[in-house]
Chains A and B, each alone.
Chain A
């Protein structure tokens, strides 16, 4: 609101100044009687004083506008470190979607899941799977809630959730890219695919998610499409017979 007021003040001041300067040269200079000359001179001086005042107001209003309008303008993402040609494509992909929202820890889903799968120890894996599908990882709060509601102890839930490769204890990017590293994919160049994707998404060494938290790169044992090797899966979509270049293309299905 304050930005609007300051903004309109800026516009008003600029309009006054422009009008004044547009009118000024239209009065041709000519010898005039003394009284008339005095009136014109006074009018000029008055206009000059008014313009000075208006200019000061303009400066103040502009400063106020810039200050107030700043929060209204969205911060652009800091550009990822430049590596090479493929950077532009990755950049466009990242911009195409807003960054992932912070997981809201509304635990009512956990309650529903428990009522669906039961409270016994056997329900542990289906429960964890449902929670992971819903929250996209296993938030500590949700696991604590499971222990409160069921017969499963914290030790058991920690044991089970850390044993199986499917479960993740930390948040993931917007999209999960599973690169198959089965035998057939290995001999057909899965390593090159993974390396190229890491470069393309500029994922830092030792991490699996890019800076904008758009893509999480996961190496999996086998996706079962061996005759199309090498294969990757973006969310639910499988792409096969990849080369490093087409692997990067395959990510675009998400954009």
Chain B
């Protein structure tokens, strides 16, 4: 046997823990290994993930590790995972490699070097401007311009805020970065504070991310202890569960202890924000790009991506995909490359139907437009937006009307209630969509939906209301036939809407009673060796019988 391994890493982010990572760590420790708990590397579909760095510096990765396998891993290499498809890692550079709770790990990987480079504030802003970095939270405002505005503001008291209120369902890159590499965000925030001349900063983190909150608090304690943050005072504030607080003016209201209701802009927060003072708000991912840009120069960042969208973007790949997780790709890559090459195609060999990009503010891009490059402008042309980077892949069993209804239900519930069109308009739109899903649509419903969508978009104050109709508009644009099937034929082509489908047992049935055992409401009588039947009156369309059937003998009508 050669020299033993020098380092064993295990991913213990939220996803690693949820997959049983802690049991694996205990087993590794019991097997006699020294284990370093790191954050998530983005290969969430492979968790629990164990990496062994050999004495020669080669990394072996083991995926879906179970506690029983720990001994074998320590002894020899087993169950290797193929390395993740080629990606360009800037934001995720350290994720899954360093121990997030150990500042020395971060320092060893050039951490806080960007802060110590001694550039003047103007040079920093010039670098950010030159890199072409745009806000990664959704709207895509050029970060350098925002910083220059912040610097130009008069006044001695200024604030910086890191927006980590990642409420967009389907996006989790901010959670992962804060859990796995919190110092990177702190460094970015310190550079921002230095550039505009702020002495106080806040990180507004979603309360649903307890691990991210804990890691960030610990990182602040360590960095302050080492004197790395200078006179900058940082504090973590937890959100309280309101999606609208991701909007910058609402976030400030929330920090001030009020209801998170957006305000009219201008004045922009950068002119008059938190406590009435100039306030710079940037997203986690934006700030995580900053140290890399300063260290490698604006040119290196600008060399990646397309003309108006420079650098890389992190996407949370989820839904009906084989390899879900976090990926970082250069801008300009096509949706098809992401889904098929990095994501490994559609799960269970089904057909690729659409991707939902940008969450409740974004839209659905159909498979036929999959060659659209991922950049701010090309995506805006399709009606979707880059958003915060949630990319949910849908297959042919997903109903687009149901998806539109899902997002509208979300925005309707999260609307703060300030603007009438957002408050009531989304409610009326939701009613129409619910009617369609139940097969009770009225003839003029689609026109009414379009009219309302137009009103809501134009008459709302903040991004939530302005973009709320996007999921409806894009699905109407690309999947109008599905809406029409719901409306005129009272039929759900994807077999998804409970009120429009029926379950039937086909001739394939071998009478094995698996479906009868699985049915939670007793709608299938327990009759071995006979063809089973579904009792329509009892059936709740929960789909459990179809999933239980081994012989493909249950069809959806």
Contacts and interface: CB of A to CB of B under 8 A. Distances in A.
Interface in B362-396: 390, 392, 394
Among A226, A228, A238, the most chain B Cβ lie within 10 Å of the Cβ of A226
B260 interface: yes
A182 B258 CA distance: 26
Interface string A165-183: 1110000000000000111
A187 interface: yes
A124 B258 CA distance: 8
Interface string B390-409: 10101000100001001100
Contacts, number: 161
B18 A129 contact: no
A69 to B, nearest CB: 42
B208 A84 contact: no
A167 to B, nearest CB: 7
A222 B167 contact: yes
A223 B208 contact: yes
Contact of A182 (B169, B254, B317): B169
A236 interface: yes
B520 A126 contact: no
Interface string B148-171: 000000000000000000111111
A77 interface: no
Contacts of A240: 15, 18-19
Contacts of B410: 221
A115 interface: no
B24 to A, nearest CB: 15
User: Which residue, of B166, B170, B238, has the highest number of chain A Cβ atoms within 10 A?
Assistant: B170
B307 to A, nearest CB: 30
Contacts of B356: 183
Interface in B1-55: 14-15, 17-19, 44-45, 47
A195 interface: yes
Contacts of A199: 520-521
B520 A227 contact: no
B176 to A, nearest CB: 8
Q: Bin chain A's interface residue count.
A: 35 or more
B316 interface: yes
Contacts of A125: 237-238, 240, 254, 257
A225 interface: yes
A10 to B, nearest CB: 48
A190 to B, nearest CB: 10
What 10 A-B pairs come out closest when comparing CB atoms? A227-B324, A124-B257, A182-B169, A165-B241, A226-B318, A227-B44, A164-B240, A166-B241, A238-B18, A184-B318
Interface of A: 84, 86, 120-126, 128-129, 152, 156, 159-160, 163-167, 181-184, 186-189, 192, 195-196, 199, 220-229, 231, 236, 238-240, 243-245
Interface of B: 14-15, 17-19, 44-45, 47, 166-172, 175-176, 207-210, 237-243, 254-260, 316-320, 324-325, 356, 359, 390, 392, 394, 398, 403, 406-407, 410, 414, 416, 518, 520-522, 540, 542-544, 547
25 contacts: A84-B520, A122-B255, A122-B256, A124-B258, A125-B238, A126-B238, A160-B258, A160-B259, A166-B207, A182-B170, A183-B319, A184-B169, A184-B170, A184-B319, A187-B392, A192-B543, A221-B243, A222-B169, A222-B170, A226-B44, A226-B324, A228-B44, A238-B17, A244-B520, A244-B542
